[in-house]
Structure 1
Amino acid sequence: MRKKATRAAALVMILTQLVIVASCDSEEQPIDTATTTETQSQTTEPEVTTALPADLDFGGAECRIFNFDSGSWNTQLLAETQNGEVLNDAIYNRNIKVEDTLNVKLTEFRESEWNTAYEAARRLLASGDDAYEIYFTNDRNALSLAQEGYIEPLSDMPYVDLSREYWSQTINEDISIHNKLYFSYGDFNLTGYEAVNVLLVNKQLAEEYSLPDHYDAVLDGSWTLDLLAENMKLVTNDLDGNGTFDENDQYGITSHNKQVLPCFWVASGLRTIEKNENDEPYFALPGNEKFADMYEKVLDIMYTDNVYFNSASLTNYADNTVFKEGRALYNIVRVAFMTYYRDMDYDYAIIPYPKWDENQTEYYSRFEGGAVSFTPKVAANKELAGAVMELMACESMKTVIPVYYDTVLKNKYARDERSIEMLDLIYENRICDLGDTFWSDKIRDGVFAGKFAANDRDLQSTIATMEPTVNKVIEDTIAAFDEVDAAASSQGSASAE
């Protein structure tokens, strides 16, 4: 299977506007080939702009942003100064453009981490304090705040157009309920890229064991779960010959226990939570034969012939020394954690997770949730908030995302040009399973992490036990949003009178 000619809109802009990257103080240059130069000179994409009024002027008003620090993703929204680091400077220049265009002043308050951010945000919103126009919180926490009626629906926000290409279309479709979004992912928020999972391949081990070329396998469609299993068995080796497998031996794959199953169920085109025709989530596992087959197959693969090493036993599972030191063929890793492997001595490839079989036409990539943006109902100046979010998303697509993609992903993380091609495929089909994000405590972490760790094959009784709990959580969520909508409608009717 060859790469699609039509990319997701954001990534098309990344590849076709590299000249913009250079104008953002980037010292990194795109790979210089005659073919690339010729193609770019012949195909010029029209500049993406918002539908904001040209004379929109907020008179120097302050737009206050509530944010938090995260060890899991890059949540940087503001930059105090230019410092020569290309991503920081791109963010700085974007914000100057937003401030100058709208005549606003962007300010930011940052909490130390996502739990304290949620607690602080909830206190402010519960008290009715109009402290910030825009909030960023973890998506699960934003869901709780939306259910309590604190968040303005984005469809009611002035100037916000969620149909535009600088809003994360596929992810936002996954997190909507009743076709309504209270919070969203957009291009001014790097977690939409950083919280995607990729598979790293030790190229030296692949060559040493004469494995099929991984890049070719991805592109010709033969990259499947079966091929992954074959490769892992070939590479696994008791290096010290003591009959016991530990961190000093060689493995087919390494990961934290909780990350394995969701990466492979998403890659197989599955979700634990699906949507019905009314855009209502429902528990998708009862009676799901393909999920049962996937579950059994993945456990068979991982628990046969010692191919799997659980990185939770290491000091820092994200900084996986077994892979870094060349003793694993594959490493399950979040893009944000690839910073740990920048200086790895062994060369690696970046590829998507394998398809279930060759009949599957697409590669699917797991997006495991991140920080989302929203505006509270108590915000007095929603016009300001909406205009800033819309313009920040648009300008980020044109400047920040190309720098992130071209400098961070391509020049810091990727080791060769073909890994860049793989990243295009990876970002093309990002899937957000609500059982892996909103309700991970009930499904991924609450159940499947433990079952995988124990090699527990009793799936059907577990699903039967889970079903009432998961259904109630979903029903309560839908009911809460119905109440929020009803209250808003009642308030609107009263205001009209």
Structure 2
Amino acid sequence: MRRSFAALLAVLAAISALAGCGTKKPGGAKTSDDGYTAEYVPEISRGDYNGASVTVMCRDPEMAWGEMAVISDEQSTAVLGDAAYRRNKRLENDYNVKLNFVTYNDETASGGSFYRTISDNLSAYDDICDICIPGIMDAATLASAGAFVDLSSGDVPHLDLEKPWWNKTLNDSMRILNRQYFAISDALLNDKLDTYVMFFNKTLFADSKLDAPYTLVDSGEWTIDAFAKIVKSYGSDLNGNGTPDYEDAYGLVGMIYDVFYVGSGITGAYLDEKTGLPAITPFSDKTDNIYGKVRDIVSGSRYNTYSIGQEPLFNNDINDTFRAAFDEKSLFMCGPLSFYFNIITEMTSDVGLLPCPKYDENQKEYRHRAGYTGSTAITVLTSVRDRERAGVMLEAFCAGAKNYVSPAFYDTLLTNRYAQDEESKRMISLVIDTEIFDLDQIFKWGTILERLQLSLSSGAGSVATLYARYAAAAEAKLRETIDSYSQLK
């Protein structure tokens, strides 16, 4: 979804500042001079670093995959830009430092100039930055090579990954050998924006006398089977040309269906919480059943589903193609949360948001695959000389994001302006609270779920045979990662 993120950045840059960005004051909360509530305060004292330059390396926010609330050179009328500016100025004033941002405008999500800069520095070992925020797939590769300090080891003083400005659930899911070489915090938004959800056409549901699925979600009955029943009951050749295209009506419009596995609690790899050892998820009857259910959805009637890429893009643009296939004529659209900003705002139909369906009613929680293509991660390079200062700056940077950036993102952008009904607002919280990473997709051991998706249309071999072949290759690469981690100090 690279072009979608680029369009998203352009949209958000033009949004005017909105009211209501504050958070409730708990006991002990402090209101800062700029009017923001300092609800979250790191347990570090203000210091004076005598105007020292603190360097942050990150993706260019104007480019695809760039984080939107890390950099702001001047006070902005855009909501997130203003929040980032106030957070950064507060940090500079409290610690007498000057934040210096070094940005990279790579066109790819991994393996670009940012990656090469860090990789080359493994041998040069220069003190090139205090805080480093690479793409998460680059972070995974570089961690194995020894580029980063274990953030949970105490080698970077003042960091407390148990604090609420760090995402403990996601971070724990990446603690290979119980080490935290890269982490997610409130300073980062891409893991959320690139998380896939299920949008539905409220206008068509009402016109078709269908009940909105919110009640199914709340009762725990929002399952793959319930979803499939609705999808398979809809779709038609609207233009009468006998060929499925974006001018027709569909039950589902999408392009990534690994979300049905993750939503069912299946990832390509998992982490043993006790040992910290990752493992490839073994094939099971459940895996086979999910594959069969998804295949039944995407390979049934030609008008059950429309997969982006099955024909040339409308206007040669992926966003326009999603809009053309979904707006006013299709029931569901599977896409990232960022669609709220760069696709749905230009639609005629009213749109609601749902979690991805569960496997069955016995499954206790909904699950959502946190975006890995667009996600970035917080790291500290092993070459950093002043780790004490880096720890102070990083903890204050992330705590400040909890006070400034998160209220702007959640309260204003997501819930007050874009979500079109109260139910969707609840669903947004449910989705973000149930994010998980698939280590296999981050580390690229076998990308098993992606490969299973590709096999849906080919129909080559049994799913058990395909899974076994993918898993065997993944096991070998996973072992290399474990060996690399084991050799790190």
Shorter-chain TM-score bucket reads 0.7 to 0.9
Report the alpha carbon displacement of residue 235 of structure 1 after superposing the two structures with TM: 2.0
Q: Pick the aligned partner of 1:424 from 425, 429, 446.
A: 429
CA contact (8 A) 2:150 2:180 kept: yes
Matched, 1:127 2:124: yes
What is the match of residue 34 of structure 1? none
The runs of 5 or more residues in structure 1 that have no matched partner are 1-24, 32-39, 486-497
Relative to structure 1, the CA distance from residue 240 to residue 343 in structure 2 (aligned partners, 3 Å threshold; closer, same or farther) is closer
What is the match of residue 229 of structure 1? 228
Relative to structure 1, the CA distance from residue 316 to residue 75 in structure 2 (aligned partners, 3 Å threshold; closer, same or farther) is same
Report the alpha carbon displacement of residue 455 of structure 1 after superposing the two structures with TM: 4.3
The runs of 5 or more residues in structure 2 that have no matched partner are 1-15, 30-38
Between the aligned residues of both structures, percent identity stands at 26
- What is the alpha-carbon distance in structure 1 between the residues aligned to residue 216 and residue 232 of structure 2? 18
What is the match of residue 162 of structure 2? 163
Relative to structure 1, the CA distance from residue 359 to residue 457 in structure 2 (aligned partners, 3 Å threshold; closer, same or farther) is farther
CA contact (8 A) 2:263 2:368 kept: yes
CA contact (8 A) 2:354 2:424 kept: yes
Report the alpha carbon displacement of residue 87 of structure 1 after superposing the two structures with TM: 1.3
Report the alpha carbon displacement of residue 468 of structure 1 after superposing the two structures with TM: 2.5
Q: Which amino acid aligns with 2:18?
A: E
Q: Which amino acid aligns with 2:409?
A: Y
CA contact (8 A) 2:190 2:371 kept: no
Deviates more, 1:221-230 or 1:474-483: 221-230
What is the match of residue 471 of structure 1? 475
CA contact (8 A) 1:205 1:235 kept: no
What is the match of residue 105 of structure 2? 112
Q: Pick the aligned partner of 1:95 from 84, 88, 96.
A: 88
- What is the alpha-carbon distance in structure 2 between the residues aligned to residue 269 and residue 398 of structure 1? 32
Q: Which amino acid aligns with 2:268?
A: T
Relative to structure 1, the CA distance from residue 453 to residue 129 in structure 2 (aligned partners, 3 Å threshold; closer, same or farther) is farther
Q: Equivalences for 1:204-219 in 2 at 5 Å?
A: 204-219=203-218
Which SS does the other structure have where 1:305 is aligned?
coil
Q: Which digits, 9 at most, give the CA deviation of each residue in 1:391-416, with x for residues without a partner? A: 11111112211111122212443112
Q: Which digits, 9 at most, give the CA deviation of each residue in 1:360-417, with x for residues without a partner? A: 2211111122111211111111112111111111111122111111222124431122
Which SS does the other structure have where 1:254 is aligned?
strand
What is the match of residue 14 of structure 1? none
Q: Pick the aligned partner of 1:147 from 144, 149, 156.
A: 144
Matched, 1:64 2:55: yes
What is the match of residue 386 of structure 2? 381
Q: Tell me how many residue pairs correspond in the alignment.
A: 447
TM-score (norm 2): 0.86
CA contact (8 A) 1:254 1:330 kept: yes
Q: Pick the aligned partner of 2:71 from 61, 67, 78.
A: 78
Q: Which digits, 9 at most, give the CA deviation of each residue in 1:297-342, with x for residues without a partner? A: 1111221122111112323334413345323211111122432221
CA contact (8 A) 2:42 2:396 kept: no
Report the alpha carbon displacement of residue 80 of structure 1 after superposing the two structures with TM: 0.8
What is the match of residue 464 of structure 2? 460
Higher helix share: 1
CA contact (8 A) 1:342 1:412 kept: no
> Which aligned runs of 4 or more in structure 1 are off by greater than 6 angstroms?
none
- What is the alpha-carbon distance in structure 2 between the residues aligned to residue 210 and residue 181 of structure 1? 50
Q: Equivalences for 1:255-274 in 2 at 5 Å?
A: 255-256=254-255, 259-260=256-257, 262-274=258-270
CA RMSD of aligned residues (A): 2.2
Deviates more, 1:65-74 or 1:347-356: 65-74
Relative to structure 1, the CA distance from residue 255 to residue 455 in structure 2 (aligned partners, 3 Å threshold; closer, same or farther) is farther
- What is the alpha-carbon distance in structure 2 between the residues aligned to residue 344 and residue 412 of structure 1? 15
Report the alpha carbon displacement of residue 102 of structure 1 after superposing the two structures with TM: 1.9
Report the alpha carbon displacement of residue 192 of structure 1 after superposing the two structures with TM: 3.0
- What is the alpha-carbon distance in structure 2 between the residues aligned to residue 358 and residue 215 of structure 1? 15
What is the match of residue 202 of structure 1? 201
Which SS does the other structure have where 2:428 is aligned?
helix
- What is the alpha-carbon distance in structure 2 between the residues aligned to residue 45 and residue 265 of structure 1? 42
Which SS does the other structure have where 2:137 is aligned?
helix
- What is the alpha-carbon distance in structure 2 between the residues aligned to residue 356 and residue 451 of structure 1? 20
CA contact (8 A) 1:185 1:372 kept: yes
- What is the alpha-carbon distance in structure 2 between the residues aligned to residue 456 and residue 99 of structure 1? 59
Q: Which digits, 9 at most, give the CA deviation of each residue in 1:206-238, with x for residues without a partner? A: 112222222222112221111211111222112
CA contact (8 A) 1:73 1:194 kept: no
Deviates more, 1:188-197 or 1:172-181: 188-197
Report the alpha carbon displacement of residue 55 of structure 1 after superposing the two structures with TM: 4.2
What is the match of residue 361 of structure 1? 364
What is the match of residue 238 of structure 2? 239
Relative to structure 1, the CA distance from residue 466 to residue 106 in structure 2 (aligned partners, 3 Å threshold; closer, same or farther) is same
- What is the alpha-carbon distance in structure 2 between the residues aligned to residue 470 and residue 205 of structure 1? 43
